[in-house]
Structure 1
Amino acid sequence: MKISEIIKKLNQWAPPAYQESYDNATLIVGNDKADLTSALITLDCTEMIVQEAIDSGANLIIAHHPIVFKGLKSITGKNYVERTVLKAIKNDIAIFAIHTNLDNIDTGVSKKIADIIGLENTKILAPKKELLTKLVTFIPIENKDEVLQSIFKAGAGQIGNYDQCSFQLNGTGTFRANDNANPFVGNKGELQREPETRIEVIFPSFLQNKIVTALKKSHPYEEVAYYLTDLQNENQEVGSGIVGELSKEVSTIEFLKLLKERFNLEIIRHTHIHVDKIKKVALCGGAGSFLLSKARAQGADIFITGDFKYHEFFDTEDQIIIADIGHYESEAFTKDLIYDFLKENFPNIALNLSKLNTNPIKYF
């Protein structure tokens, strides 16, 4: 199996188009055409992780956090980033990062946290806008099912838990072919009136080329009439954080104890406990303080994330409890998330979870 096959499947799961603008979720080092020996899955990629890959015989490191965020103008080994990259290159080890694109899908990092806590009725806390496009096209009535199935297969028509979604309206299309045309119906130089179905479907914008290609290949007309419209709609399946509910209320103190147990925490930084019971929970893996207002607006009793700054703790206004469990701690199970996905899709490849704790923060 080629490394590219692993990367392709991961990108289908968490499309790179869903990563944040500052991110670098991609193949950072290595040749994706190389045969895979085994893969090492980690939260961070460091020199020690590369050594772990060497020792285990892995030639692919799959990391959540990219080792390279910004462009490198030189690679001389003057810092840990350059030393890690150099060590990987010298040992023919590829480094692939799957970061905020994995954060932003509804089966990603935050959903994994929600599952560990036991949340039900979960949904994206802050859905993203401007990620959807609408296709409108016109198809001869007798050909519409064939064309529709082609664009559905390419990824159009998926809305939440429903697929093959479309709007259809029958009408009459008119056209006149010139001498250079090769019309599917009608005669050159004569006005043709053809019963057609107007089809409207929605699809993720990053699939536009694939959808249009499928449309043109399956449509019987020599010239296909269609138009595309970028939508302002929120994509309920893509965005930051998760909000959900516990099956029953629990005391706030017991819930904090549950967090410490489930996430193996040494400490929780939290705001004033102004409510006795917890029912609705908002959360975000990693650094999620930017979502506090969203969590408050959803009526969550508590917001779980990492990396809150001192003054941000005042922003609760005693309307919600902040539970800062730490950046690393909130994402520690991301390794398991990636491992389980790959094992389900590639049961016969060699996968290893890193045994190293890469958390740079220690507690005394």
Structure 2
Amino acid sequence: MKVKEIVKSLEVLAPPVYQESYDNSGLLTGSGNEEVKGILVALDCTEVIIQEAIEKECNLVVVHHPVIFGGLKKLNGKNYVERTVINAIKNDIAIYAIHTNLDNMNNGVSAKICELLELENLKILSPKKETLYKLTTFVPSSDTQKVLDSIGTAGAGQIGNYSNCSFSSEGKGSFLPNDKATPSIGTVNKVESVTETKIEVQFPVHLKSNIINALHAAHPYEEVAYHVTKLENVNKEVGSGMYGTYSEGIDANVFLQKLKDTFKVGAIRHTKIIQPLIKKVAVCGGAGSFLLGNAKGVGADIYITGDFKYHEFFDAEDKIMIADIGHYESEQFTIDLLIDYLNNNFDSLRIQPTENNTNPVHYFS
């Protein structure tokens, strides 16, 4: 099994196109053509993690946070980032980061938090815009179903819990093949008129190539007429944070204890309790203060994330409780998420979680 095969699978879980513009997910060191001896999974990539990979004979390290984030101009070993990269390269260890693209998936980091908190009726807190496209094409009516089946199998027409969604309308198509053409319908140098079906389907951006290839594979024409349009619709399947509910409310103090125990938190920084019963919970793994407005907007009783600054706590404005459980603490179970995914797809490989806690924050109690 080669590194590139692992990468390809991980990019099905979290397509790179969904990472934020500032991010640097992907294969950071190593060659995709190397055979994988073992995979070590961690939240962060540090010198300790690379040393652990060496000792465990794992030549692929899969992490959530990219060790190369702001860019590298020199490799002199003057800081932990440079030393980590140098050691990885020296020992032929590939590093793959799956960061905000995994954050933005409806089965990603925030979904894992919701699972651990046993929340129901999960939804994306801040759905992404401009990640949906529409394909419009024109097909001889006799081939309509063949083309619909092909592009549907490739993922076109998926809207929430519904698949193979499309709109079709009948019309007349005309064309004039020149003497270099080999038309499947009609005759060279003669205008042809055909009863055609106009097909319109929606699809997510990461499936664009697959769907266009499926269209060409099933379409009978030598030259396929189609156009792709970017939609302004929000994509309810992709975006930041999540929220969910409890069918029955949980006492706020009981919930805070559950939160502390579940995420092994040294201390929870939180604003005052507004609602005595917690029914609707919003979450975001990592640094999520930017989603506080969204959490208020969906009527959440509490918003759980990490890295809130002092003055940002005032923004709760007695409308919601903010619970800062820490960056590492909120994302630590991403390791389990990735381990489970990799084991389900590569049961013959040696895949293991790190034994090192990479949290740079400690609590004195």
| Shorter-chain TM-score tier | over 0.9
Contact 2:147–2:219 (Cα < 8 Å) also in 1: yes
Equivalent position amino acid for 2:188 in 1: K
What do residues 136-186 of structure 1 show as CA deviations (whole Å, max 9, x unaligned)?
A: 001011112222222223332221222222111222222232333322212
What pairs up with 1:240-279 in 2 under 5 angstroms?
240-279=240-279
Partner of 1:300: 300
Partner of 2:226: 226
Equivalent position amino acid for 1:340 in 2: D
TM, length-normalised to structure 1: 0.98
Q: What's the CA shift for 1:248? A: 1.3
Is 1:287 the equivalent of 2:287? Answer: yes
Partner of 2:48: 48
Partner of 1:39: 39
Does 274-283 or 211-220 show the bigger shift? 211-220
Partner of 2:172: 172
Partner of 1:191: 191
Moved over 6 A (4+): none
For residues 246 and 26 of structure 1, the distance between their equivalents in structure 2, rounded to whole angstroms, comes to: 36
- Alpha-carbon RMSD across the aligned residues, in angstroms, is 1.1
Is 1:359 the equivalent of 2:354? Answer: no
Equivalent position amino acid for 1:251 in 2: D
Secondary structure of the residue aligned to 2:95 is strand
Secondary structure of the residue aligned to 1:244 is strand
For residues 108 and 59 of structure 1, the distance between their equivalents in structure 2, rounded to whole angstroms, comes to: 25
Q: What's the CA shift for 1:362? A: 0.9
What do residues 301-327 of structure 1 show as CA deviations (whole Å, max 9, x unaligned)?
A: 000000000000001110000000000
Contact 2:124–2:238 (Cα < 8 Å) also in 1: yes
Q: What's the CA shift for 1:352? A: 0.7
What do residues 198-233 of structure 1 show as CA deviations (whole Å, max 9, x unaligned)?
A: 111111123323322322232111221111111011
For residues 356 and 66 of structure 1, the distance between their equivalents in structure 2, rounded to whole angstroms, comes to: 17
What do residues 20-70 of structure 1 show as CA deviations (whole Å, max 9, x unaligned)?
A: 001111100111211111100000000000011111111110000000012
Partner of 1:311: 311
For residues 240 and 35 of structure 1, the distance between their equivalents in structure 2, rounded to whole angstroms, comes to: 34
What do residues 96-119 of structure 1 show as CA deviations (whole Å, max 9, x unaligned)?
A: 000000000000000000000000
For residues 227 and 89 of structure 1, the distance between their equivalents in structure 2, rounded to whole angstroms, comes to: 44
Equivalent position amino acid for 2:172 in 1: T
Identity %: 57
Equivalent position amino acid for 2:68 in 1: V
For residues 342 and 180 of structure 2, the distance between their equivalents in structure 1, rounded to whole angstroms, comes to: 52
What do residues 239-266 of structure 1 show as CA deviations (whole Å, max 9, x unaligned)?
A: 0000100231011000000001111111
Partner of 2:158: 158
Secondary structure of the residue aligned to 2:329 is helix
Is 1:320 the equivalent of 2:300? Answer: no
Partner of 1:17: 17
For residues 248 and 343 of structure 1, the distance between their equivalents in structure 2, rounded to whole angstroms, comes to: 35
Contact 2:274–2:301 (Cα < 8 Å) also in 1: no
Secondary structure of the residue aligned to 1:274 is coil
For residues 206 and 40 of structure 1, the distance between their equivalents in structure 2, rounded to whole angstroms, comes to: 27
Secondary structure of the residue aligned to 1:245 is strand
Does 207-216 or 25-34 show the bigger shift? 207-216
Secondary structure of the residue aligned to 1:69 is coil
Q: How many residues align?
A: 364
Is 1:137 the equivalent of 2:131? Answer: no
Structure 1, unaligned runs of 5 or more: none
For residues 256 and 324 of structure 2, the distance between their equivalents in structure 1, rounded to whole angstroms, comes to: 11
Secondary structure of the residue aligned to 2:202 is strand
For residues 126 and 339 of structure 1, the distance between their equivalents in structure 2, rounded to whole angstroms, comes to: 26
What pairs up with 1:338-353 in 2 under 5 angstroms?
338-353=338-353
Secondary structure of the residue aligned to 2:300 is coil
Does 102-111 or 66-75 show the bigger shift? 66-75
For residues 85 and 152 of structure 1, the distance between their equivalents in structure 2, rounded to whole angstroms, comes to: 42
TM, length-normalised to structure 2: 0.97
Equivalent position amino acid for 1:79 in 2: N
Contact 2:155–2:207 (Cα < 8 Å) also in 1: yes
What pairs up with 1:16-95 in 2 under 5 angstroms?
16-95=16-95
Contact 2:104–2:241 (Cα < 8 Å) also in 1: yes
